A and B are shown apart, each in its own frame.
Chain A
Amino acid sequence: MSKKFLSGNEAFAEGIRLARPQVISAYPITPQTIVVERLSEMVEDGSLSAEYVHVESEHSALSCAIGASAAGARAFTATSSQGLLYMAECLYYASGGRFPIVMMNADRSTALPWNIYGDQRDSLSQLDSGWIQSYAENAQEALDLALMSYRIAEDKRVSTPYMANLDGFVLTHTYETVDIPEREQADRFLPSYETDNRIDLENPKNMAFSAGPDTNYIFKYKEHEGILAASEVIKETEKDFAEIFGRKYSGLTENYRTEDADYIIVTLGSIAGLCRETADKLREQGVKAGVVRIRYMRPFPNEEIAEVLKNAKAFAVLEKDISFGNEGTVFTNVNSALKKAGVNVSGYNYIGGLGGRNISAGDIEKIYSDIAEGTDSVNFIGIGGTGNGK
C-alpha cells in the first residue's frame, strides 16, 4: 500500500484504475472534470487498459456506458449537476436494464440561478431512478467506494447501477493523504465482470425490450428486489474489504456517539466531520449530542435509522437539498423510516449549504440547541422556519 496526497476526484480515479473498467465514456463538467482527466492520463500511460470514448454529451455518456454494459463490459462514466439531469432518461434505462454501471457524481447545485458549487439537489432528485446511491465523506472513502462499487453493483443478486456521490469542491477538490491499495490486492478483491445479461454472439438475445401491463410490474418488482438486496451485499463487501485492505466501513449508516445521545443530527456527505466535531464540543459541555451519517440513500437504511433514533429526545436532518413545496427529501425518507418502525421522536429539518453556501460550526451548534427546545419543522439555516409542516 502506498500513500499519496490526492483530491477527492483524484482518489476516486485511483479507485477506478484499480477496478479495471473496460469502457469509459467521458464528458467534462465542473467539478467532475479532474476524474475524467486523470483517467485519460491512465489510459495514455498504459496503467489502465480501457476504451476511452470522448462522447459529445452526458446523455451519450450514459447511453454509451449502457451499450458497453450490454456488451458485457465493465463500464464507467462520471457527471455532475446539469449533466446528471441531462442524462436522466438514461438513468432509468440503465437500472431497468439491470446494467451495473458505476458513475461518479460530483454533487453540485442545479440551475437556475447558475452555480457550480456543491449541494445535493442533483443526485437526491434522482433517488427514484433505481440506482444505488452512496455519499462519501472523504477522499479515502471515495477511493474505497470506487473499488467496492463494482463488487456491489455486479453481484448477481443486485445487478443494479451504482452512483457514487462526492460533494462538489468540498470533497472533489480537497486534498488529503490517501492510502492506495496494491494492484494485486485489488484484483483479489474485485473479480472480472461475468454476466448472462449481455449480448452473446453464440446465443443471440433481444435486450431492453418492451413489456406490457401483464409483465411490466414483474420486471419492476425484480428491480426493487435487486436494489434491496444491495443492503446485505454492501455488508459482505465491506467485510471482505476490511480483511484485504484493513479499513472498516459500517454499512448504510455510520453512527457517532449515538448510544446514549439525546440529540442527534442525521446528515450525509462531507459535512458530517464538522457535525462530529461539534458533537464532541457539546459533549464536553454536558450535552449528549450524536451524529448519524447516511452513507447510502438507496437502498435506504430504514431499520438502521429507526434503531439509532428511537431513544433520542429529538433529531435534526441536515441536508443540502429542498423539495420545493414540501421539505428536504432526506427528512421525508427519515420520517418514513421512523413511522414504519413505530418510533415517535421529535424531528426537525435543516436545509443548508445550497449553492455551496458555508455551514459553520456555529450553525450546527445552533441546530443542537434549537431541537432541544423545539423549533419549526422545516428551517433554512440563516433564514429561519419556512412555516410549513408544523
Chain B
Amino acid sequence: MANKTAESISREEFFYGHKACAGCGGSLAVRAALKVLGPNAVSVLPAGCMSAVGFNFPQLCFSNNSIISTFAGTASMLTGVEAGLRARGYKDFTAVGFAGDGGTADIGIQALSGAIDRNDNIIYICYDNEAYMNTGIQKSGLTPYGAKTTTTPAGENIHGNIRPKKNMFEIAAAHDIPYAATASVGYLPDFIAKVQKASQIQGTKYIHVIAPCPTGWGVAPDATVDIAREVVDCGLWYLAEYENGSFRLNHKPKAFTSVEDYLKKQGRFRHLTEEDIKIITDSRDRKWEFIEKNSQL
C-alpha cells in the first residue's frame, strides 16, 4: 500500500532545528507526516513536547504555517483554522493536528470528539509516547498497564500503572469517522502511506501513531525505531485502519515475539513480575481475539 518510500519521499524538511531529545519518536512522526503533506500543511500543536521543542521565539522551527493551541484545544483550533481558511477562499491546504497521548486521550478528547462529530475536514495525528513526557513522565490515559511513571511509582504494593491504555483508535472509529488508522514509527512506510491516504479523504481523519520516548521509556536513544517495531511484533500494538464502517488489519505477525523481552528492555517495565507479564500477555491475546473477530485482513 505504501506509495511513498525512503526513495520517493520529499527531501524537503518542515520540522527541523528543534530541540527534542535524542531519539524522539514524536518528532520523527511529525517530520515524516509533514514531508507527506507538504508546504501547504497548516499544523496545529497543543502545549506539549512538540510545541515545547519547536516554537521558542525567536527560534521557530516549522517551515510550514504552524500554530500552538491550548492543551485541550488541538481539534477545536484545527476546526477554526480550517473554517477560517475556507471562508477566506483557500482550497489547497491541509489542516493537520499533532497532539500527544495526554493531549488526545485525556484533556483533548472532548474537542476531538466534537470535531469528528462535525466531520470537519482535518487530519488529527496522535503521537503516542504513552505518558506526559513534556512534564516529566506522568501517567496519561494511554500509559500501558504496568508502566512506571513519576505518578505511578513501581513499589512493593503497586507495580506501576494499574490501568490499560484507552482504545483511542476504536473510540475515534465509534464516531463512524471517514478514516482512522493506527501506526508505529517502527513501521514508517506504513505510517507515511496512511498520512498520504488521509490527505486524500474528505472529512475527519484520525491517525494514532506509537512514537517511543527513549527518555520516558528507559531505552537508548538509538533504540526508538527498534522498540517501535517490537511493540507491533510482540502484539501489544497493531497496524490497522477503519474505513467505510469496517476495520482492516494491515499486518499480522506470523508468530508474536516475546512480550517479556519487549518489556524487560525498558526501564519503565523492568520491575514487572512474572505475574504482571502474564496479565499483559493474556490481555494481548484477548485483544487479538477481538481484532480477528472484528476486522478484515
Q: Which residues of A contact B (CB under 8 A)?
A: 22-23, 25, 50-51, 53-57, 59-61, 63-73, 75, 89-90, 93, 199-201, 204-212, 215
Contacts and interface: CB of A to CB of B under 8 A. Distances in A.
A62 to B, nearest CB: 8
Interface string B90-104: 101100000000000
A22 B84 contact: yes
B264 to A, nearest CB: 38
Contacts of B80: 23, 25, 53, 63-71, 75
Among A51, A57, A60, chain B packs the most CB atoms within 10 A around the CB of A60
19 contacts: A22-B84, A23-B84, A59-B72, A63-B76, A67-B77, A67-B81, A67-B83, A68-B81, A70-B80, A70-B81, A71-B42, A75-B84, A201-B42, A201-B93, A204-B65, A206-B62, A207-B65, A210-B52, A215-B57
B67 A204 contact: no
Contacts of B85: 71-73, 199
Nearest to B79: A64
B69 interface: yes
A68 B40 CA distance: 17
B25 to A, nearest CB: 22
A67 B69 CA distance: 8
A67 B78 contact: yes
Interface stretch (B111-119, B232-240, B249-257, B273-281): B111-119
Given A199-B67, A206-B62, A208-B69, A54 B88 contact: no
Contacts of A63: 69-70, 72-73, 76-77, 80, 111
Nearest to A65: B80
Given A71-B81, A210-B68, 14 more contacts: A23-B80, A23-B83, A25-B80, A57-B110, A57-B114, A60-B114, A68-B84, A71-B42, A71-B83, A73-B84, A201-B40, A204-B39, A206-B61, A208-B55
Given A51-B87, A60-B73, A201-B90, A67 B52 contact: no
B76 A64 contact: yes
B135 to A, nearest CB: 15
Contacts, number: 164
B151 interface: no
B60 interface: yes
Nearest to A215: B57
Given A63-B69, A70-B67, A206-B55, A51 B83 contact: yes
Interface string B45-70: 00000011011111011111111111
B88 A22 contact: yes
Contacts of A53: 79-80, 83, 118
Q: Interface size class for chain B? A: 35 or more
Most A CB contacts (10 A, CB to CB) among B58, B65, B80, B81 go to: B80
A312 B63 CA distance: 60
Given A206-B67, A209-B55, A57 B111 contact: yes
B111 to A, nearest CB: 5
Contacts of B69: 63, 66-67, 208
Contacts of B61: 206
Contact of A204 (B57, B64, B68, B82): B64
B65 A90 contact: no
A67 B84 contact: yes
A113 to B, nearest CB: 26
Contacts of B92: 201
Contact of B68 (A25, A54, A72, A208): A208
A202 to B, nearest CB: 10
A93 B76 CA distance: 14
A292 to B, nearest CB: 38
Contact of B84 (A59, A72, A200): A72
Contact of A60 (B51, B67, B110): B110
Contacts of A205: 65-66
Nearest to B40: A201
A207 B60 CA distance: 9
Nearest to B74: A63
B87 A55 contact: no
A55 B114 CA distance: 6
B163 interface: no
B185 interface: no
B175 interface: no
B137 interface: no
A55 B79 CA distance: 9
A301 B31 CA distance: 50
B86 interface: yes
B142 interface: no
B73 A59 contact: yes
B84 A70 contact: yes
A228 B82 CA distance: 32
